[in-house]
Amino acid sequence: MVSTVNSVAENERTELTGRTLEGLYQVGARVGGGGTGIVFEGLCLKTHKPVALKTLRPHLIQHIDLGTRLRRELEVSRRVVHPSVVRFIGDGTLEDGSPYLAMPLLRGVSLGRLLLRYGELPAPIVLLLASRLASVLHSAHMAGYVHRDVKPEHVMLSETERHELRVHLLDFGVCWSATAADDERRRESGRVFGTPSYVSPEQAAGEVKIDGRADLFGLGVVMFEALSGSVPFSAATVTKLLLRIIREEAPRVRELVEVDARVDALIAQLLARDPAQRMPSARALSRALLPFAAARAGAERQLIAMMRDTYAADPGSVTLERAAPTAQRVRVA
């Protein structure tokens, strides 16, 4: 079963602005929205630090699985020990009975915004980001989670006070969990989770039992897009797109852009239709990226300069997609 994402109406949840949640958080302006959630800027009244407050969209508050998934993000943040996973600082319940999460307000630029500005990125930058993402995916997989929605909009880039690159992988809201209850598994059977252009063939087929190699496919799509400016598969409808992903082999990135033969082969392996033909783990991908490590320092400096330019052109904080998704970038299920 495939469900499409509606754009977030401008007045959804605006009644929360100005309210104090359970005496803990002052709600400010809305800063983001996606298919299932809305994010507000806020203030933690205990620490007087800015926070982001994530809530469900109003028409989804009775959806049992969505409430479970929002709380699972909190679970992931506590169980996956990695600097690229956002640490939620609190949670609670709104007056309508739906949950909310509080996390540090991240100010930076999503990889999606960077690609909108530049179209394509130099190979050393793409390989640097792949290495950072492989590291966090390894930690998540070892803790029993598969993200299922790796895409540029969920990669947050920011600069530390020491002018170092910080990368966060956001939104574990549709992640597969090894500890999910049997009834949740049954409800997931036959459904597609993720954003169609980035899902693996096994996700596109609605398989319940997947593993970390599904995320490696998604990361392969991200690398392909960042290098070439386009995703490997496209189609007029979501259904046709999923069928292409299931039935066809991905094109080679070298057909669209000149790249090192080793990089082309690496991405082709990540995008193999058969999971058994992909790299066996995110750790294996990290090892495969080691020959390119010498270029990372220069790539980081160049990336930070591009981030500054992008942020200066459109300042803001991003915790979810800010723009309405296009037909092939909607999130399903």
pLDDT, one tens digit per residue, over 261-299 is 999 999 999 999 999 999 999 999 999 999 999 999 999
Task: Find out whether 197 and 154 touch, Cβ atoms under 8 Å.
Answer: no
Q: CA-CA distances (angstroms) from residue 308 to 68, 172, 197, 311, 316?
A: 37, 27, 28, 5, 12
Q: What is the pLDDT confidence band of residue 10, given thresholds at 50, 70 and 90?
A: low
Which of 60-67's residues contact partners 24+ apart within 8 Å by CB, and which partners? 60/36, 61/96, 61/97, 61/98, 65/184, 65/187, 66/36, 67/98, 67/99
Spatial CA neighbour of 196 closest among 321, 329, 324, 7: 329
pLDDT, one tens digit per residue, over 177-227 is 888 777 777 777 778 888 999 999 999 999 888 999 999 999 999 999 999
Q: CA-CA distances (angstroms) from residue 6 to 33, 60, 87, 164, 324?
A: 11, 12, 28, 37, 8
Per-residue model confidence (pLDDT) at position 229: 96
Amino acid present at 62: Q
Q: Which CATH number fits domain 109-314: 3.10.270.10, 2.20.25.90, 3.40.190.10, 1.10.510.10?
A: 1.10.510.10
- Is the per-residue pLDDT at 328 higher than 80? no
For the chain, the first-to-last Cα distance in angstroms comes to 8
Task: Find out whether 127 and 295 touch, Cβ atoms under 8 Å.
Answer: yes
Dihedral of the CA atoms 289, 301, 138, 238 (nearest 10)?
-90
Task: Find out whether 264 and 252 touch, Cβ atoms under 8 Å.
Answer: yes
Cα–Cα distance between 105 and 26 in angstroms, integer? 13
- Is the per-residue pLDDT at 238 higher than 90? yes
Cα–Cα distance between 206 and 189 in angstroms, integer? 7
**Segment (H or E) for 43:** strand 37-44
- Is the per-residue pLDDT at 322 higher than 90? no
Kindly report which listed range (25-29, 65-69, 320-324) carries the lowest average pLDDT score: 320-324
Give CATH 3.30.200.20 domain extents, the chain. 14-104
Cα–Cα distance between 198 and 137 in angstroms, integer? 15
Say what angle helices 282-289 and 123-142 make with each other, to 10 degrees.
150
Q: Which CATH number fits domain 14-104: 1.10.645.10, 3.90.1150.10, 3.30.200.20, 3.30.565.10?
A: 3.30.200.20
Q: Is 332 helix (H, G, I), strand (E, B) or coil?
A: strand
Give CATH 1.10.510.10 domain extents, the chain. 109-314
Q: pTM, whole model, 2 decimals? A: 0.89
Cα–Cα distance between 280 and 66 in angstroms, integer? 30
